[in-house]
Amino acid sequence: MRDRAELAVRTLTPERGAAAAAPPVLLLHGFGSSGHTDWVETGIAAALTGAGRTVVLPDLRGHGNSPAPAAAREVTAAGFAADLLALLDAQGARTADVVAYSLGARIAWELAATAPDRVERAVLGGLGPAEPFEAVDVDALRAAVGGAGEPRDPLTAAVAGMVRAHGEAAPGLVLCVEGLRSTPFRPTAWAGATPPVLVVGQDDMLVRGTEQILGVLGAAELVSVPGDHQQALSGDAFRHTVLRVLAR
């Protein structure tokens, strides 16, 4: 198995030094994306450093500039969480605030469950109550990505189109789908220091049923922002929510 500490990562620091006693902010991107796309291009990373925070921007395994997985077992929910714990160790970070979107939010939940004493505040965007890849036919997906024709199942066909768009990274993303499918999201009580703030797009069809997560969390805050799954992340309302929640 690969070294868990080898993820591609950027660390951004504020010009005048990090806020006193504030942990770094770990930013976790969505499926098929990267730390740069979700957090630098949206201005969220710059807003955080402008607020005096140190930001850690990894590319999840199989994404961006990080290595592709060698097997699906490396990219289960637990496998992704293990990568992040190794990353925090390499950064010398005892704890972190976490801002995560879509797949990143799913992994953040696993990270808190695995190491609850290392996750402080959390903002989770674009998180639905179930594993989005649970119904994907992995064999048909792999065949489609390999050029064997379109899957009959509409969901698998849609995921195949998304994965193929990533060219040489596509086989690694198929393994990510397989690994996540084998560890479906079944939210139980949040294990981090404080309940996360959930952010959902008003037109995001991928997060229907978020009230099921609220039922598990109890007192957690739900913030509704304009836009669909992509627009919600890039909008001002999401960025303002992050800054408000993480203000120290």
Tens of pLDDT along 199-212?
Answer: 999 999 888 877 78
pLDDT of residue 19: 61
Look at residue 47 and tell me if it is in a domain: yes
Closest among 87, 136, 128 to 109, alpha carbons compared: 128
pLDDT of residue 176: 97
Mean pLDDT over the full length of the chain: 92
Tokens coding 152: 């009959």
Residue 177's domain comprises: 132-181
Q: Which helix (H) or strand (E) holds 143?
A: helix 138-145
pLDDT of residue 132: 82
The reply to whether 76 and 106 lie within a common domain is: yes
How many domains does the chain contain in total? 2
pLDDT tens, residue by residue, 129-143? 877 898 899 999 999
The reply to whether 198 and 175 lie within a common domain is: no
The reply to whether 140 and 98 lie within a common domain is: no
The reply to whether 205 and 110 lie within a common domain is: yes
pLDDT tens, residue by residue, 13-41? 997 765 667 999 999 999 999 999 999 99
The reply to whether 95 and 170 lie within a common domain is: no
Q: What is the CA radius of gyration of the chain?
A: 17
Residue 17: exposure state from Cβ atoms within 10 A (0-12, 13-18, ≥19): exposed
The reply to whether 169 and 70 lie within a common domain is: no
Tokens coding 163: 């994965």
Look at residue 233 and tell me if it is in a domain: yes
The reply to whether 177 and 188 lie within a common domain is: no
Task: Look up the CATH number of the domain holding residue 59.
Answer: 3.40.50.1820
The dihedral over CA atoms of 230, 189, 138, 125, expressed in degrees to the nearest 10, equals 10
Maximum CA pair distance of the chain? 56
pLDDT of residue 1: 38
Sorted by sequence, the CB contacts under 8 Å of residue 66 that are 6+ apart come out as 6, 7, 8, 58, 59, 60
pLDDT tens, residue by residue, 70-126? 999 999 999 999 999 999 999 999 999 999 999 999 999 999 999 999 999 999 999
The reply to whether 137 and 121 lie within a common domain is: no
The reply to whether 37 and 123 lie within a common domain is: yes
pLDDT tens, residue by residue, 142-190? 999 998 888 999 999 999 999 999 999 999 999 999 999 999 998 888 9
What is the pTM assigned to this prediction?
0.94
Look at residue 46 and tell me if it is in a domain: yes
Look at residue 198 and tell me if it is in a domain: yes
pLDDT of residue 3: 45
Closest among 130, 124, 134 to 180, alpha carbons compared: 134
For helices 103-114 and 77-91, what crossing angle results, to 10°? 70
Look at residue 63 and tell me if it is in a domain: yes
The reply to whether 44 and 149 lie within a common domain is: no
Look at residue 1 and tell me if it is in a domain: no
Closest among 131, 110, 98 to 31, alpha carbons compared: 131
